[in-house]
Amino acid sequence: MLRRELEYFLGALRFFTRLPVPAWVGHSAEALQHSARWLPAVGLVVGGIAALVYLAALQFWPQSVAVLLAMAATLYATGAFHEDGLSDTADGLGGGWEKSRILAIMKDSRVGSYGVVALWLGLTGKFVLLAALDPALVPAALLAGHAWSRGCATLLLASMDYARDDDQSKARPLASRLAPGPLLFALVFALAPLAGLPWPQAVAGLLLALLATVWLAVKFRRWLGGYTGDCLGATQQLAEIAFYLGLLAQWPR
């Protein structure tokens, strides 16, 4: 059982990142369905890489440079997988007017103006927000932000249907709804790193990320009747940004 779960985790790591995994890890649609519950744990790995790079860079450069290098490390580790989803989703919802047209735009490998703007805002937003945080909080913020934002994406897997009818999509094996048990398992990894942050900030980040997820889910259900792989990436990106916004929020007294 432990070996099987390890294989599912490593399968998720291979699918959602470019990090190497052992050759013995198998690949099948069924295994990928089980791997979905490990998505927040993958976020912990990616966030951990970012935190280590940030801490190392902070010994030599200002915080802004350390944040930039940490972001570059996550882009390298994931191959900009989720950023690509954000770009495609922005192009599809911005340029389409019906489900078939939106899905066609999202599948197109070319990047349109909506996608470029979304990418710029997303990357710039994360940089500005992380650079504005207390330097001592950034490592914990990276861990929690990457894990919880991927937890938000699993909420779509548990509550919505897959929107595409074709069988060629890379995310097709994720089409089965995540059952309550696997969802709870995923949320444990998504919520655990919040303990490393001051609780008022952690709660604010959690709630803003949830709000962003609900907002996107409403749009996905209205225009697509469900989600796609690109939608999951867009959800992760927007939820991560919203989480950092919550950490920085200063409430009126």
pLDDT tens digits along 91-143: 999 999 899 999 999 999 899 999 999 999 999 999 999 999 999 999 999 99
d(CA 99, CA 84): 20
pLDDT value of position 248: 97
Name the token pair of 18: 């470019």
Work out the pLDDT band at 169, boundaries 50, 70, 90. low
> Could you tell me the pTM of the whole model?
0.94
Residue 106 CA, distance from chain mean position:
18
Is a pLDDT exceeding 90 seen at residue 51? yes
For the chain, the average pLDDT equals 93
- As a whole number of angstroms, the distance between CA 51 and CA 66 comes to 10
Give the chain's length: 253
* pLDDT on residue 1: 75
Above 60 in pLDDT, residue 252? yes
